[in-house]
Amino acid sequence: MKKEHNHMKNKKFGMCIDLDKCTGCGSCMVACMSENNVPFREDETDKRKSITWITVYKITNNRPFPDTEVCYMPRPCMHCEGHDGHSPCVSVCPATATDYDMATGIVSQIYTRCFGCRYCMGACPYHARYFNWWDPVWPAEMEKYLSPDVSPRMRGVVEKCNFCYSRYQRALDKAYCEGRSDIEEDEYQTACTQGCPAGAITFGDLNNKSHAVYKLKKSPNAFRLLERLGTNPKVYYLSSKEWVRKAGDNYIKGENPKNIKKSHH
Amino acid sequence: MDSALIPKGVKRCPLPIFILGIVIIGIVLLWGVYAMILCWLKGLNQTNMNDYYGFALWIWADLAIIALGGGAFFTGLLRYIFGLDELKNIINYAVLIGFICYSSALLILAIDVGQPLRSWFIFWHANVHSMLTEVAFCLSCYFSVLAIEYIPLVLENRQIDKIPFFHHLGHNMHKVMAVFAATGAFLSCFHQGSLGGVAGVLYGRPFAYREGLLVWPWTFFLFTWSAAACGPCFTILITKITEFITGKKLVKDNVIDLLAKISGWMLGSYIIAKIIDTIYWATVTAPSLGFNLMDFYKDNSFYGIWILIVEIAVCGILPAVILLVPKFRQNKLLLYTAIILASIGVCLNRWVMVLQVMAAPVMSFDTWALYIPSWQEIATTILPVAYGIILIMISFRYLPIFPQEKELNSIE
Amino acid sequence: MLPFSFEWVWDAGHIVFMGGLWYSLSILGMGMTYCVIKTIIDINSNDQTENDHH
Amino acid sequence: MKIDRRSFLSLGIGAAAGTALTPIPWKMMDDSAIWTQNWWLTPVPAGGEVTYKTTACTLCPGGCGLRIRMVENRAIKVEGLEKHPVNDGGICPIGLSGIQLLYGGTRVKMPLKKVNGKFVKISWKDAISEIALKLKVLRDKGDAYKLSCLTGSDKDVTSLLLKRFINTIGSNNFFANTTISDSYEFVIKKVHNIEGSMSFDLENSDFILSFGSGIIDGFVSPLKMIRAHSRIKEQGGKIVQIEPRLSNTAAKADKWIPVNPGSEGMLALGLLHVIVKEKLYKSNIVSDNTSNFEKFRRLIIPNTTLNKAAETTGIDSKTIEKLGRGFANARKPVAIFGRGKGDSPIGFGEAGLVYILNYLTGNINKKGGLFITDNKKYINWPEIVKDEITNAGLDKSRMDGAGAGSFEDTKYITSRLADLMESKDQKSISALFIYNENPCYTLSDSKKINKAIEAVPLVVSFSSYLDETTAKADYILPNHTNLERLQDVPSVPSGITGGLVSLSKPVVKPMYDTKNTGDVIISLAKAMGGNIAESFAWSSFETCLKSTFKDQWNALDKDGFWFNPGKSTRQCPDLDFSKLLDINLSSIQPQGSKSKFPLVLIPKETMRISSGYIADPPFAVKVIPDTVLKNNDQVVEINPETAKKYGLHDTKYAILTTPFGEVKVKIHTYNGIMEGVIAMSKGLGHIGYDKFINGKGENFNRLIGPVEDPDSGLDIAWGIRAKLTRA
């Protein structure tokens, strides 16, 4: 690990999602499915069995008409760093089928290693992990559109968002061919970031001062989901609405979110 | 017909009745096997589990039967290590019950994983930081210990015992049984504990999460303790049921009383620890994560605070008191009440630590997830029960499980 | 599981865990081996004395 | 040797021990790992060189630029085209799922002919000559005018070729699907007496007053609108959304003002009252000399106007006054209108008043305001060659009554289609061509259309998919689908102030025996011979397109689009208020009796459900929330108070009845909807296509009936009275 430090500073890929801009259109979800060979079934209305690596939650302020407010919240995998890479899911996997990559901060999933115990799913408070309850089937000629960059998953294994790692690999390959040792910010963007019509998602290296996410995460409107648990997620949200920011975590009645000390940024 | 196989000096029911019993239970077993095969061939879509309920009925059944099978290790520990010699009269049965519980647990696990053919990855690619790895290792090792403890009993069958090799093998194994039992106790402590750790380490789940000692959350110790407390209760319960069905007294009261008394002490001390743990969790741990105790028990149609009260008061304090007071535990009815409540209590605890963990929402905008198992899940959960009954029937018929049986039931 | 699999790290966690595992397995293995060998020896020594019975 | 128990046992144990010592178990374990990794049910996609191809999306009128990722000759993924004026790299769920329409199971794979109620294969040559023969018979009988055509749009070259074709045959009865754009054109024509449409420069405005327009819910050009919305958020512009339901647009707006369904026009009147009475309008816009302004002023300044507005809309007069002042005093205000996605036109009463609202703030053709766009077509084809039959046919007026009399400024009255198809007299359709439209699903009172279309002797569908209408056709001449075909994609004006055309180019070779509809029409014309063949002198559709676009072709071919910012705005002549003096707002009242149907059913439109000609592909269906569709049940939204009043419970079944039909639905209680209103998602309940869309939910259009605007004749059906009873 120390050698790597000298060689190249570790990256920490992360996201900032502007909830004021997010329209809840669902493009991120579909872009992700299309990029990552996510299968579909005839009936996908049981959302607790429907694989959507990034899911758009609809949250409300629970006030009666006409004071009701609604906000959409896209939830990819948070790629929790936890404490020194001790993310909730990685630490529990018995077969080392999921890994926290110190060099990128990406939580990966090795489908061919996973034997489907689903402990990681229980560990994840965000429900970012999905199980393949069925064998994937692509009807008609649809196998033709499968991307060779991402291996389709077999029944009985867990899968999740990997920040489009295959795109990172492609970007690295390209840079390598061109004799560069590193990639530019815009060379590696996730499919959801790219597809979002509202430009609500910003993706980049949270450690890199020149990346847009570096500045955005410091906004006074920025918050993360369930910070109090110490999961230390790498997805930041921006909202100008206080009730939305407050919905990001749990608070005991009378607690002031501002006075709560949260784990390190 | 099979009298040559039946231990000398005891009476067993006629063979046709025995076979009829086996057939009846066998049908239930086959139903379970059918469901199991469905799960293996078609995958886990046969269950009602979902992405919120990755752990459900099966994991609960695993945890519960292992806790109930805890009688084997604890009785073994008392008998071989602490030298409580009276317990030799019940240790065989404790071992058999343990063996059934553990083999069932392994079977259920083999159905529960999405890719059963890859289950050995848990050993081969072990992540030693995972509680589940610890569970898998200790569980399978301890299962071999139970097998080793069960083998000498099998070898005592009248016909097998005639073969000199097996006769001597059984004899030799008896001699070193203390070493095996010690190893078993060591392994058992760890896997009972790590089963507790499975939920306790989930720091993303405030309902389950507990602080602890070194790498082990408090649930680690609570699970071991409760298994040691309630496992023997279950052993007594099964013994009593066997006595009822066979219509014979099989174990002397003083043995039962001794085991019940020890259980009482264990249960009493456990429940105090559990109460302290609950209070600390409810007043310190959970609030620091933004949760009130009642947040875990509201807004849903099943998980109310009643479950905590039942677990601690009705199935904890009450049986502990009964078992601790000699007058109470010597009253048959109260004893039965106590052992039944203790067994339910530990199952309820495991239920809460698996299913309620999954059901309770964590994100402020998430909702409770309730779940009803599919028939395939229920059938595969009943499968080990049927299997256990059959194994007990066969073992009881052909093996000298209860050393005191002959003395208590002399044949005219 | 074995020192040559790539998950293996020589840290305290691995040493304690795997140490415990291999220790238990050794005891079980050695115990059983002892029983079997002892039995074979017993049979051979008994054979002479018990032969007459058959 | 005798096998006794002992030797048997030893043999067994020996065998087990022996096997354990061999490599067999280890090899088997290893194999099991490899085998489960190459699980036979999991495909292994073939690799290859990755390339990108530029094209344009044809799945909705939005006109987004696309970049298709290819691996060898397979299309892998649809992405948005960067720098495209509409979407600049963004992409919507339907566009993304377009790949599934290409490779999916809903395609018509070859030309088909219906024989005895069943489709049978037919060759292209036979199909064309058979249809040509039937048309000849029609012409010879003097019934040429009975050939009609319905298309999704009348802006693209293929649709216009179809129009040219039926004109040449001798029929005026060309129909195109009517949308909010028809209302825009109607208003401009009516009040300024010029040809033009409207475009709203939302992103530069600082106060957007939206009369129910789903700015981020798929309004007309969805991606352009969503991008504008993000700009507004960045620049701090204010959005006020007027709508009975908390739509996504309302949720994101700075203020949501719930309004009684259908009373938006009255609100506009109330606002005008405030602005005119308090003289908040730009003084240079109108003076006492402006024709008929004084009359208009006198008409609306009595306080009764405000009171009536408050009463009808359910918004108190203080709020209306405040809103009027806020709007008029904003630096760059704009009022946008057209409900939801803008799929249906709205009445002139409402549209005209909202236009005046814009006009009085002086925002016409100003940055951040409303632009009058030029409708000038890029089509410049030679005149058609006419014979006697053609002339005779073209002399007849349109069967639907559009373009003449009181509807002289109206192009098509699609709501009369059903009657024309069913009728047996002179005014009846004998042959119907359908292109890029699915009337059996999309037109209001779809039940009636489904029945009526069966009475038409010859129905020819050019659809790529087996949709509801195509299933009823006599001939299916399947078009190449998206990503396979060459087609111009003219941009709809809303949101784009410049001239813009994109080009949809084939990125993959046609999968099946399909033909570009443009080529089919040219072949059909040639098969007809005579003046008809002469009118279609192009050798192929491609040459037709090239000659149509002339200088623009190079840009289209190279960049995928041609864009000229600002080129297409029109000067705004003076406004004639006389047309607004007898404005009619009564027709906006939802149909049905209040006593029988106490609730009002309104459509709910979202980006995740395609409600037009294209049905939702599987990916898009997958992201439909379970509060919209649960299993195959349509879920409707109502306020918890309304639910309580009618004894309805969340997630439970209910029967939804309107004057046009009855369906079983599930209830979803939602605080973000007015009491007494039911919202139901549009775009579900298909019966054509395949199992991934079929039978999911109910078709909204089946529950409503056409409502003709007395001013324009356009079908402005939107909501309807309804009731909910416990199932």
Angstroms from C19 CA to nearest CA on chain B: 11
pLDDT value at residue D506: 95
Mean pLDDT, to the nearest integer, of B54-77?
90
**Residue D292: Cβ-neighbour burial (10 angstroms; 0-12, 13-18, 19+):** middle
* Interface check A94 vs B, CB under 8 A: yes
Q: What is the mean pLDDT of chain B?
A: 90
Residue of chain B whose alpha carbon sits nearest to that of C26: B183
> Is the C-alpha dihedral spanning B284, B287, B288, B289 positive or negative?
positive
Question: How sure is the predictor about D399, in pLDDT bands with cuts at 50, 70 and 90?
Answer: very high
* Residue D227: closest C-alpha in chain A: A198
Q: What is the mean pLDDT of residues D653-664?
A: 95
Q: In this complex, does chain D touch chain C, defined as having at least 3 beta-carbon pairs under 8 Å apart?
A: no
Contact present, B404 and B135 (Cβ < 8 Å): no
- Contact: D32, B163; criterion CB under 8 Å: no
Note whether C22 contacts B: Cβ–Cβ < 8 A: no
pLDDT, tens digit, for every residue of B208-249?
999 988 888 999 999 999 999 999 999 999 999 999 998 888
Which of D27-41, D219-233, D444-458 has the weakest average pLDDT? Answer: D27-41
List the structure tokens of D109.
């794979």
Pick from B186, B189, B178, B187: nearest CA to B81: B178
**pLDDT (average), residues A41-66:** 94
Q: What's the rounded mean pLDDT across residues D597-624? A: 94
Tell me the chain B residues in contact with residue A92 when contact means C-beta distances shorter than 8 Å: 130-132, 201-202
Per-residue model confidence as pLDDT tens digits over D62-83: 899 999 999 999 999 999 999 9
At D681, list the tokens.
Answer: 């998602």
Decide if pLDDT at D1 tops 50.
Answer: no
Q: Which residue has the higher pLDDT, D172 or D9?
A: D172
Domain residue ranges of chain D, discontinuous segments joined by +: 5-37, 123-178+381-479+515-539, 181-373, 589-726
CA–CA separation, A26 vs C39, rounded Å?
A: 72
**Interface TM-score (ipTM) > 0.85:** yes
Closest partner residue to A96 (CB to CB) among B50, B127, B365 is B127
Are A143 and D623 an interchain contact pair (Cβ–Cβ within 8 Å)?
no
Averaged confidence pLDDT in chain D:
91
Residue D533 backbone phi and psi in degrees, to 5: -60, -40
Q: Which two tokens stand for residue A239?
A: 């909202």
Distance of residue A130 Cα from the nearest chain D Cα, in angstroms = 15
Q: Which of B102-106, D32-36, D301-305, D655-659 has the highest mean pLDDT?
A: D655-659
- Residue D412's pLDDT band (boundaries 50, 70, 90)? very high
Chain A residues near residue D670 by CB distance under 8 angstroms: 68
**Looking at the predicted structure, is the pLDDT value of residue D255 above 50?**
yes
* 8 A C-beta contact, residue D614 and residue D481: no
Whole-model pTM: value is 0.92
C17 inside 8 A of chain B by CB = yes
C45 touches chain B (CB under 8 A): no
- Predicted confidence (pLDDT) at residue D3 exceeds the cutoff of 60: no
Higher pLDDT, C1 or D25: D25
Statement: residue A5 has pLDDT above 60 = no
Do B118 and D36 make contact, defined as CB atoms within 8 angstroms?
Answer: yes
Over residues D645-669, mean pLDDT: 95
% of chain A with per-residue pLDDT over 90: 86
**Count of positions (residues) in chain D:** 727
Q: What is the mean pLDDT of residues D556-570?
A: 81
In a mutational test of the B interface, the residue from A133, A134, A231 whose CB has the highest number of chain B CBs within 10 Å is A133
Structure tokens at D121: 């294969």
Partner-chain contact A226 B118, CB within 8 Å: no
What does the pLDDT read at residue D566? 66
pLDDT tops 50 at residue A54 = yes
pLDDT above 70: residue B1: no
Q: Which amino acid is at A30?
A: V
- The DSSP annotation for A134-200 comes to S-----TTGGGG--TTSPPPPTT-EEE--SSHHHHHHHHHHHHHTT-SS--GGGS--HHHHH-TT--
Condensed to tens digits (0 to 9), the pLDDT of residues D147-191 reads 999 999 988 999 999 999 999 999 999 999 999 999 999 999 999
Say which CATH architecture domain D123-178+381-479+515-539 belongs to.
3-Layer(aba) Sandwich (3.40)
pLDDT of residue D260: 93
Question: pLDDT at position A4, please?
Answer: 42
One-letter identity of residue B320: A
Task: Write down the H helix ranges in chain A.
Answer: 2-7, 27-35, 119-123, 165-177, 191-195, 212-216, 242-247
Answer whether B291 touches A (CB < 8 Å). Answer: yes
The b-or-e profile of D47-56 (16+ CB within 10 A means b, else e) is eeeeeebbbb
> Does A34 contact D229 at a Cβ distance shorter than 8 Å?
no
- The mean pLDDT value for B32-51 works out to 94
Chain B residues with CB inside 8 Å of C17's CB?
128, 133-134, 137
Residue D567 has pLDDT above 80, yes or no: no
| Cβ–Cβ below 8 Å for C43 and B168 | yes
Cα–Cα dist A108/A100, whole Å: 7
D-chain CB neighbours of A71 within 8 Å are: 251
Q: Do B126 and C1 touch (CB under 8 A)?
A: yes
Beta strand D499-504 with D487-490: parallel, antiparallel or unpaired? antiparallel
Identify the residue among B118, B123, B160, B169 best suited for mutation to test binding to D, counting D beta carbons within 10 A and taking the highest. B118
Q: Is B279 exposed, middle or buried (0-12, 13-18, 19+ CB in 10 A)?
A: exposed
Q: How many whole angstroms separate alpha carbon D519 and alpha carbon D157?
A: 12
Residue with tokens 């905008």: B365
Rounded distance, CA B3 to CA B342, Å? 38
Q: What are the φ and ψ backbone dihedral angles of A23, each rounded to 5 degrees?
A: -100, 0
CB B251 within 8 A of CB B89: yes
> Helix crossing, D541-549 with D552-559: angle to 10°?
120
Using a CB–CB cutoff of 8 Å, tell me whether D35 touches chain B: yes
- Do C28 and B134 lie within an 8 Å CB cutoff? no
Q: Calculate the average pLDDT of chain A.
A: 91
pLDDT digits (tens, 9 = 90+) for B282-340: 999 999 999 999 999 988 889 999 999 999 999 999 999 999 999 998 898 999 999 99
Residue of B nearest to A135 (CA): B43
Q: Per-residue pLDDT tens for B331-365?
A: 989 999 999 999 999 999 999 999 999 999 999 99
The per-residue pLDDT for B403 is 86
CB pairs < 8 Å spanning A and B? 165
**B and C: number of Cβ contacts within 8 A:** 64
B126 vs C7: CB contact, 8 Å cut-off?
yes
CATH class of the domain comprising D181-373: alpha beta
Of D6, D9, D36, the CB nearest to B117: D36
In chain C, which residues have pLDDT < 50?
51-54
Asked whether D128 and D521 are in contact (CB, 8 A), the reply is no
**Touching partners of A (3+ C-beta pairs < 8 Å):** B, D
Do B128 and C39 make contact, defined as CB atoms within 8 angstroms? no
Site from A83, A229, A260 to mutate, B interface, most B CB atoms within 10 angstroms: A229
Q: Which chains touch B (3 or more CB pairs under 8 A)?
A: A, C, D
Identify all chain B residues contacting A117, using CB atoms and an 8 Å cutoff: 112-114, 122, 132
Name the CATH topology of D589-726.
Barwin-like endoglucanases (2.40.40)
Nearest CA in chain B to D4: B163
Query: How confident is the model at residue D500, as a pLDDT?
Result: 87
CB interface of B with A, residues 31-50, below 8 Å: 43-45, 49-50
In a 10 Å sphere around its CB, with 0-12 CB exposed, 13-18 middle and 19+ buried, how is residue D125 labelled? exposed
**May I ask the CATH class of domain A2-259?**
alpha beta
Q: For residue D6, what pLDDT band results from cuts at 50, 70 and 90? A: low
Closest CA–CA distance from residue B402 to any residue of chain A (Å)? 39
- Name the minimum distance, in Å, from the CA of A225 to any CA of chain B: 8
What's the rounded mean pLDDT across residues B128-148?
Answer: 87
> What band does A7 get if pLDDT is binned at 50, 70 and 90?
very low
pLDDT at residue A12 is higher than 90: yes
Is A73's CB within 8 Å of B129's CB? no
Check B205 against A127: CB less than 8 A apart: no
Closest chain D residue to the Cα of A55, Cα to Cα: D623
Q: Name the H helices within D253-386.
A: 264-277, 293-300, 303-313, 317-329, 348-360
By the CB < 8 Å criterion, does B289 face chain A?
A: yes
- The residue count of chain A comes to 265
Chain B and chain D share a number of CB contacts under 8 A equal to: 13
Q: For D43, which of A65, A146, A198 is closest by C-beta distance? A: A146
What is the least distance, in Å, from the CA of A6 to any CA of chain D? 35
Residues D504-539: pLDDT tens digits? 999 999 999 999 999 999 999 999 999 999 999 999
Neighbours of chain D (3+ CB pairs under 8 A): A, B
Going from the N-terminus, what domains does chain B have, and what CATH number goes with each?
53-365 (1.20.1630.10)
CB contact under 8 A, B121 and D33: yes
- pLDDT at site C6: 65
D402: pLDDT strictly greater than 50: yes
Hey, are the CB atoms on D6 and B163 less than 8 Å from each other? Answer: yes
Which residues in chain B are contacts of C25 at CB distance < 8 A? 141
Q: Do B129 and A134 touch (CB under 8 A)?
A: no
Q: How confident is the model at residue D393 (pLDDT cuts 50, 70, 90)?
A: very high
Specify the pairing of strand D458-461 against strand D475-476: parallel
The residue of D7, D11, D13, D32 whose CB has the most chain B CBs within 10 angstroms, and thus the best one to mutate to test that interface, is D32
Give mean pLDDT, residues D353-358. Answer: 94
Angle of helix B177-200 versus helix B131-155 axis, rounded to 10: 150
- Name the token pair of B228: 């040691």
Whether residue D315 has pLDDT greater than 70: yes
